[in-house]
Structure 1
């Protein structure tokens, strides 16, 4: 956030007025935009309220802003004085559009992490920099000559990467795939987006787990897709729920995250996998299997994917390198029947003409590298250690106030607060105490659940982060 520079000779109020004038003239603050209250802006900028009052008076005198009792201070609809031209009413455009904005909770978390204040990030489900194979990738870049053309590539994805993925999926996930059955995407989220845009229509109904990461993605509502939840217990979703939802709502797809489910960490039992696959085969509806976490198994053998059991082409399989290598590579994939891959590759080409060749080239070499398996072993060891540090911190700080099951894989710990709590107040108090996390209601659960990630913060931040959360929780309970 911008703040006035006290080392300048220009008065603070004038710096504030000039900064706001610039934002107004550039259209960042369109006509009618509500400005912060004087007291709030003074707190944000670290100045006296009288300084903000003086800056606002300067802008009012120029006709750039106007104040009305009960309505606050807004950018004037017609600006006179310093400029006589009108900017578009961007607020009307911002409120329109097909793609809905992120959930308020997620926007608030992002604002808190970008505020410039020190906030321990227990919210973002991604790997910390020290868990990524930076040295291996740096070595690949130095030692392997990059001789690929830098024009538009194949919209289905870089062929050597798809070839490397066929071997990777066979070795690590027991999935049989070919170059023609793989689509490269910029991550699992783009795979889901392509499915909503290319295979579903407004009004279609789908079944998802409840809670589910899907509830945090506005892309489904933006596409007019109706979401129906299936409760998740310690063994995953109940197969009969699919039958019931099909009978009631004629669901067209089932979206599942069967291994180390996000956010609860549960693993779908073998018996339920077979039953779900059989039901969907009988009904003729596809399963979208999102499998980002399987190779982060911590205390057991890597669970097999549903796709391994699929003999009928029922499962669309989605994976990525984000949770096992680096989210910044932006490499994901989908395994599906060739007709589906062709349809979604065409949709993908309409969006961006295909992913950049450079990260695909890196990913192809990394997947074929002898360093891949040692990296996965080291990653699991580090994640197990971080998970245990977080669990021990929760026991020390909040033993009687929260409950949780130790996840056997994944990047997250799903925690239940044992007393009723207001999620909004808890998040605000958390950010005030310097810690970010995701309230469970973001994922469709009732209030009183929290998802913490142990992969994103440094090891040394986990204990302080939980301690700060404990203070925020007790403040909320007062």
Structure 2
């Protein structure tokens, strides 16, 4: 059996090399990862790697791990091959943090209990209605040509009608359909801001886990938060960097803390940003996910000068797979970013736009939200009870009024990396707080949105046991 597994490891690595999937300079998976993949002891992996090193296909470098040194053709050739491993580090866009990459990869594996995933459970996906709508849309299709640069005019009209219920009155010409809010941020980073700009944001913030603005050579300036949201007066104290600055904020059910910015704080923030002429990017993708009472109106409702770029999406409320979101802003901004979007992908999916239109225009989206809010409230209570039962004395947390997340502070001084790895080995995927700010090393972002109710209970139970073993 050991010999069979040993040969499988040899075959797996050599095929990756000969097919060009692992080019010269590529770092191969760790011994632990290979051992888990093939369900063998690390000694079996070590023996296989030693043979490949002896054959000249692999090499080990201190601090870098085990790398591809040659391929079968290079061993017989004097021509130096292309080192893609070096080339992939030369691009303008920075790579994700290693822990973020690990999380992204693990989220695709179904055997983990997902306690960090920012996505609705498949149990809440309106499969029956979605099939019916897709069938209706398909029956009506006469062509699937590219849509207008700003997106389907019918969808933009429907978005305007939907936003009126939030107190936001705008025209289709001021709406850009995007492939999710993340694409809106990418377009803003390359189309509106110059190198060296400062991004004000809550600390911690979801934006720290991305490299969108850092890749465009911009810097972050974190702002403190309390139970009412970010503290606006800190902006006035940072006079030296306000020029060429923009504020990114998630005022409603903040990611990762779940905080809901108060109405008074929103008005204070708007006044300060208007006075200091600091544009605002308002990310409102969780705004519809309230549970107890509706949240205060978006910042955009109070915007009289076109100071706020407002982002919304169906990814958190309906389906991430549709890849449909929107940005609302001054026409000049929307036209500029629509042009950039056309250069990037020639417009969001025509089919997805037609499906999104049907959801919004038919009233089914509002009906769906009622069900989602009810189910999230149940899941939130399950998570809070499990936390009380298993983490009392080990952690503290606040009760979110909406959204997906509970921001949990672990009392014992644990390193996020150790807790993350230990949890992963026990079949639990969590989002450590330090990916949202280095200063949040004692926190984890716990999501009650994706896992089943049984998995939420079991996952938090295991998490409590893990923390006890690490203190």
Give TM class, smaller chain.
Answer: over 0.9
Corresponding position of 2:365: 372
Residue 219 (1) aligns with residue 240 (2): no
Q: Cα gap change, 1:348/1:58 in structure 2, threshold over 3 Å: closer, same or farther?
A: same
- Cα displacement string for residues 326-364 of structure 1 (whole angstroms, at most 9, x for unaligned residues): 111111000001000000001111111111100000000
1:351 aligns with 2:344: yes
TM-superposed CA distance for 1:400, in Å, is 1.2
Alignment-derived partner of residue 89 in structure 1: 83
Query: Which residue in the other structure is 1:315 paired with?
Result: 308
Aligned to 2:97: 103
Match of 1:473 in 2: 467
Q: Does 1:261 align with 2:254?
A: yes
Matching residue of 1:120 = 113
Q: Residues 48 and 104 (structure 1 numbering): CA distance in 2 closer, same or farther, change over 3 Å?
A: closer
Which of 133, 139, 148 lines up with 1:140 in the alignment? 133
Cα distance between partner residues in 1 of 2:184 and 2:62: 49
**Cα distance in 2 between the residues matched to 1:37 and 1:285:** 46
Instruction: For structure 2, list consecutive stretches of 5 or more residues without a partner in the other structure.
Output: none
Unmatched tracts of structure 1, length 5 or more: 1-5
1:391-437 alpha-carbon deviations (Å, 9 max, x no partner): 00000011111111110011111111122211111111111111111
1:75 has 2:71 as partner = no
How many residue pairs are counted as aligned between the two chains? 468
Q: What displacement does 1:320 show?
A: 0.4
1:452 aligned counterpart, secondary structure: strand
Could you tell me whether the CA contact under 8 Å between 1:228 and 1:245 is conserved in 2?
A: no
Matches within 5 A, 1:290-439: 290-439=283-432
Check if 1:442 corresponds to 2:430.
no
Return closer, same or farther for 1:68/1:439 CA change in 2, 3 Å cut-off. closer
Determine if contact 1:79/1:86 at 8 Å carries over to the other structure: no
Distance 2:311 2:31 in 1: 49
Q: 2:148 aligns with which of 134, 143, 154?
A: 154
* Residues 242, 278 of structure 2: 8 Å contact kept: no
Partner of 1:198: 191
Determine which of 452, 457, 460 is the counterpart of 1:458: 452
The separation in 1 between residues aligned to 2:64 and 2:311, in whole angstroms, is 49
| Cα displacement (A) at 1:311 | 1.4
Separation in 2 of the partners of 1:69 and 1:88? 22
Measure how far apart 1:254 and its partner are.
1.0
Counterpart selection for 1:170 from 161, 164, 169: 164
Partner of 1:3: none
RMSD: 2.4
- Mapped to 1, the partners of 2:11 and 2:75 lie a distance apart of 11
TM-score, normalised via structure 1 length: 0.91
In structure 1, distance between residues paired with 2:8 and 2:313? 47
Cα deviation, residue 278, structure 1: 1.4
Q: Which stretch of the first structure deviates more once superposed, 289-298 or 34-43?
A: 34-43
4+ runs of 1 displaced by more than 3 Å? 10-15, 32-44, 47-63, 65-74, 77-87, 111-114, 246-249
The aligned counterpart of 2:265 is: 272
Is the 8 Å Cα contact of residues 204 and 256 (structure 2) preserved in structure 1?
A: yes
For 1:223 and 1:19, locate their aligned partners in 2 and report how far apart those are by CA, in whole Å.
38
CA pair 43-414 structure 1, distance change in 2 beyond 3 A: closer
Deviations 1:204-233 (A, max 9, x none): 112111111111111111011111011110
Take 2:455 and 2:347, find their aligned partners in 1: how far apart are those partners?
Answer: 38
1:46 deviates by 2.2
Q: Does the 8 Å CA contact 2:176/2:338 hold for their aligned counterparts? A: yes
Report the Cα offset of residue 251 of structure 1.
Answer: 4.9
CA distance in 1, matches of 2:399, 2:415: 25
**1:202 touches 1:223 (CA, 8 Å); kept in 2?**
yes
Q: Which range moves more in the overlay, 63-72 or 411-420?
A: 63-72
Deviation digits for residues 187-209 of structure 1 (CA, Å, limit 9, x no counterpart): 11111111111101110112111
CA distance in 1, matches of 2:27, 2:299: 51
8 Å contact kept, 1:430–1:473: no
Q: Which SS does the other structure have where 1:415 is aligned?
A: strand
Alignment partner of 2:276 out of 269, 275, 283: 283
Q: Structure 1, residues 414-470: CA drift from partner, whole Å, max 9, x if none? A: 111122211111111111111111111111143111101111111221000101211
* Per-residue Cα deviation, 1:150-188 (whole angstroms, up to 9, x for no partner): 2222121111111111111112x1110111000000111
Please state whether the residue corresponding to 2:260 is helix, strand or coil.
Answer: coil
